[in-house]
Amino acid sequence: AESMQYEHILVSTPKPGVGFIQLNRPKALNALCTPLILELNAALRTYQADTSISAVVLTGSERAFAAGADIKEMKDLTFSTAYGADFIESWSDLVTFLKKPLITAINGYALGGGCELAMMGDILYCSTSAVFGQPEIKLGVIPGAGGSQRLTKAIGKSRAMEAILTGNNISSKQAGDWGLVAKVFDTPQECVDGALATAEKIAGYSQIAVKAAKEVVNKSQDLGIREGVEFERRLFHGMFGSKDQKIGMTAFAEKKKAEWTNE
Ligand code: CO8
């Protein structure tokens, strides 16, 4: 991915097995214009296809993860164009095709589409500088990239209703207390470093097991408990067809370090 030249994002591989994407549109507080979303899709697709990459970290700048969809780009959009072109449909790609864990490291503003993008992460980390919110109501619209669904699942109906109906921000403290994020770090640098360290740790496990783990947890978002538990058990059974199950359990029994084959 390094060799690819992007205009609105920066990509690198700062740790073994870890892809790193930084949104880089500083003058617009990383407002998510269509070209940026297309580049983000392309970078994630490249990481998905790259067998040397096992986990991905997505961040913005210290000032803004992303201040939302690009309002200037949306301003003159009509219903027929939005509906006809299925505007922002490409956003849903961002989560459905990436089978590798995505950690979002959120500093500064994560508003509107920025909050929605942050919530597409499998694990959310933020720093005390983070400000979340779905302020679309102030613009005469509503969240359009999953905010009403993911925020409600994450923090519960009453809190999500309050945020979405008032447009009030959600502080980093509330995000931590309510479980929107897994951890709140003291500084933006610690947040990014923490995300990279977690990604590196995940990248050190069997990628077969990592993929299955992400898949079963995500199923809990769509299935009832009985079907979900059954789905999990079937996939658990399937793990006994992998080499890495034998390697992992044999290593434990022999008090050795597992050398994963990802097979
Ligand atoms: N779109 C376009 N430009 C933006 C955006 C945005 N969302 N946010 C900030 N900018 C631009 C500003 O216009 C400004 O540009 P310029 O220097 O040319 O005037 C520059 O970034 C810096 O911003 P500010 O001067 O406003 O910085 P402040 O520190 O004073 O304020 C705020 C920061 C509070 C974040 C403020 O910029 C703000 O309120 N931004 C808008 C937040 C918002 O309403 N976001 C929701 C947008 S709607 C949305 O996301 C719908 C999602 C639907 C699905 C996705 C569709 C693609």
229/185 same-domain check: no
Our count of domains for the chain comes to 2
Positive/negative CA dihedral, 62, 141, 163, 148: negative
245/171 same-domain check: no
- Confidence at residue 2, expressed as pLDDT on a 0 to 100 scale: 52
Q: 90 or 239: which carries more pLDDT confidence?
A: 239
Q: Is 116 among the catalytic positions?
A: yes
Q: Is the pLDDT of residue 154 over 90?
A: yes
Tokens read off for 183: 């951890």
Q: Is 259 among the catalytic positions?
A: no
Q: Residue 1 Cα, ligand 1 centroid: separation in angstroms?
A: 29
Rounded-to-5 percentages of helix, strand, coil across the chain:
50, 15, 35
| CB of residue 88 inside a 6 A radius of ligand 1 | yes
Q: What confidence tens digit (pLDDT) does each residue in 167-213 have?
A: 999 999 999 999 999 999 999 999 999 999 999 999 999 999 999 99
On whether the pTM is more than 0.90, the answer is yes
123/158 same-domain check: yes
In a domain, 260, yes or no: no
In a domain, 262, yes or no: no
> Of 8, 23, 24, 29, which is best to mutate to test ligand 1, by the most ligand atoms within 8 angstroms of its C-beta?
29
Q: What confidence tens digit (pLDDT) does each residue in 69-122 have?
A: 999 999 999 999 999 988 888 777 777 789 999 999 999 999 999 999 999 999
185/89 same-domain check: yes
Tokens read off for 182: 């897994």
In a domain, 3, yes or no: no
Q: Are 121 and 101 in contact (CB under 8 A)?
A: no
75/191 same-domain check: yes
Q: Residue 2 Cα, ligand 1 centroid: separation in angstroms?
A: 29
Q: Are 7 and 189 in contact (CB under 8 A)?
A: no
48 burial type by CB count under 10 A (0-12 exposed, 13-18 middle, 19+ buried): middle
85/139 same-domain check: yes
Q: What is the CATH number of the domain that holds 234?
A: 1.10.12.10
In a domain, 84, yes or no: yes
Q: Residue 259 Cα, ligand 1 centroid: separation in angstroms?
A: 47
In a domain, 58, yes or no: yes
Tokens read off for 230: 């059954």
> Of 71, 117, 166, which is best to mutate to test ligand 1, by the most ligand atoms within 8 angstroms of its C-beta?
71
Q: Is the pLDDT of residue 1 over 60?
A: no
- Confidence at residue 24, expressed as pLDDT on a 0 to 100 scale: 98
In a domain, 258, yes or no: no
Instruction: Give mean pLDDT, residues 247-255.
Output: 98
Q: What is the CATH number of the domain that holds 183?
A: 3.90.226.10
107/178 same-domain check: yes
225/171 same-domain check: no
Q: Residue 240 Cα, ligand 1 centroid: separation in angstroms?
A: 50
Domain stop point among 170, 188, 203: 203
107/21 same-domain check: yes
Q: Is 113 among the catalytic positions?
A: yes
In a domain, 1, yes or no: no
% residues pLDDT > 90 (the chain) = 92
User: Which of these is catalytic: 43, 66, 69, 213?
Assistant: 69
Tokens read off for 231: 């789905």
Parent domain of 212? 207-253
34/162 same-domain check: yes
In a domain, 259, yes or no: no
Q: Are 94 and 40 in contact (CB under 8 A)?
A: yes
* Overall residue count recorded for the chain in this entry: 263
Q: How many whole angstroms from its chain centre is CA 20?
A: 12
94/146 same-domain check: yes
170/219 same-domain check: no
